[in-house]
Structure 1
Amino acid sequence: MNRPASFWVKNSIWFTLLCISSLLEACTGSSGDSLPILGQREAVTKVVNGKSVTDSVYQSIPDFSFVSQFGDTVTAKTLDNKIYVADFFFTSCPTICPKMKVQLKRVYEKFKGNPDVMLLSHTIDPAHDSVAVLKEFAQNLGVTGRQWLFVTGDREKIYDIGQNSYMVTAQSDSTAPGGVVHSGAFILVDKAKHIRGIYDGTTEDGVDKLMNDMNRLLAEYKK
């Protein structure tokens, strides 16, 4: 079967990220251990009590400004003191998005009402997915309240934060169904805005692992 080059690039990146996540997970040991922190890290040397100390500074999600299905501004501060799951989709997506939303709805139902958990879905088709469209989409999914936010905004900023911060594919492609290429990843982010896991959001197994890791991450904070 002939596929556009973008298909293979997208899936190569997606497969690589899953392999990295699985490898790091294996290195942490048993299920009782802390989740790994994914992404780049930088060694920073500073002076503490007159001595040079080298510490690791981990990649984190930078500040952002998008608009939710309620028409208000959502920033990184909105998610302070929360763990959250991020994903990228568009409401008219004819391929993987319906599967992703069925699976993310499972996460929503499991953690509904938990004040330490939020979900953040970014549309990658902001020209079509207005505030009103996102609000109707959320209502049709049966989502109420502000625990699961659907956000829109400047397209380039959405693509940039997807690829450069969340480490997933999100870009325009005229050869792709719907004209947009994006991964089916769900990204687990901790309270310090560090990525703690990347999961296949199109399968039950991937999302079962996500929910298990969310419980592990919440347990870390209880300690």
Structure 2
Amino acid sequence: MQLKQLLICISLLAGLAGCALSAEKLPVLGEPQMMKKMVDGKEIEELVYPTIPDFSFTNQEGKTVTQRDVDGKIYVADFFFVTCPTICPIMKKNMLEVYQAYKDSPDVRIISHTIDPEHDTPAVLKQYAQDIGVTGDTWQFVTGNRETIYDIGEHHYLVTAKADSTAPGGYIHSGAFVLVDKEKHIRGMYDGTTEEGTKKLIADIKKLRDEYR
């Protein structure tokens, strides 16, 4: 094979590899279950991944936020509390980068759940949002029943979120940012305390949005 032909072949293969990589989809996380269903009168089995269940919380404006508010949207979830003395300030600085990147995108939302609902009332959350420069409805700070918040965190978003008298501030929670797709599947988990994790999340949101184009 002549050198020119060889270079053309290498270029074509590189292009094909690049297309394959760009088309690669994010994984679906969680433990799937084999479920039976009827299709054209026949019973078949398919692997079904867990989804985030219906929820109802109250945001910083005192309005109810439910699953319907993120229907047809990609969103990022995390857990924090306003008086957190450890990782929360770092997480919120990093989440602000995500917010700035997608605040004008109607198909992207952020939901931050307080794990100290007794202190973090809607009024406290509203002041918190204002203090860090968040406006509009892209980023929702929500509160609600303590046990409901802990349950959805630990059993559905797969993160730690609970009271712990031995922990700084009285609570312990994960520093994870959780990426959820339009079908309510978890598609990625990122270290919200690092710049690396934050940049990966921003990039993966774009990748996930591209899946729906």
TM-score normalised over the length of structure 1: 0.85
Which residue of the partner structure matches residue 101 of structure 1?
Answer: 92
Letter paired with 1:179? G
Distance 2:36 2:60 in 1: 43
Distance 2:140 2:38 in 1: 41
Whether 1:110 aligns to 2:134 is no
Which residue of the partner structure matches residue 177 of structure 1?
Answer: 168
Whether 1:39 aligns to 2:30 is yes
Distance 1:143 1:58 in 2: 33
Cα distance, 1:49 vs structure 2: 1.9
Cα distance, 1:52 vs structure 2: 2.8
Whether 1:135 aligns to 2:126 is yes
**Structure 2: gaps of 5 or more residues:** 1-19
Whether 1:64 aligns to 2:55 is yes
Cα distance, 1:44 vs structure 2: 1.2
Letter paired with 2:158? M
Which residue of the partner structure matches residue 221 of structure 1?
Answer: 212
**Structure 1: gaps of 5 or more residues:** 1-28
Which residue of the partner structure matches residue 195 of structure 1?
Answer: 186
Distance 1:162 1:30 in 2: 32
**Residue 34 of structure 2 aligns to a residue in which SS?**
strand
Whether 1:82 aligns to 2:87 is no
Distance 2:39 2:120 in 1: 50
Cα distance, 1:31 vs structure 2: 4.9
* Largest Rg, 1 or 2: 2
Distance 1:65 1:111 in 2: 24
Cα distance, 1:128 vs structure 2: 0.4
Cα distance, 1:41 vs structure 2: 1.1
Distance 2:87 2:22 in 1: 29
Letter paired with 1:42? Q
1:117-173 deviation digits (Å, cap 9, x = unpaired): 000000000010001000000001100011100000000000000000000000111
Distance 1:131 1:212 in 2: 31
Query: 1:7-18 alignment to 2 at 5 Å?
Result: none
1:174-223 deviation digits (Å, cap 9, x = unpaired): 0000000001000000000000000000000001111111000000000x
Distance 1:170 1:137 in 2: 20
Distance 1:94 1:31 in 2: 40
Identity across aligned pairs (percent)?
A: 59
Distance 2:157 2:124 in 1: 24
Distance 2:39 2:103 in 1: 43
After superposition, the CA RMSD in angstroms is 1.0
Q: Which among 194, 201, 205 is matched to residue 210 of structure 1?
A: 201
Letter paired with 2:60? Q
Cα distance, 1:30 vs structure 2: 3.4
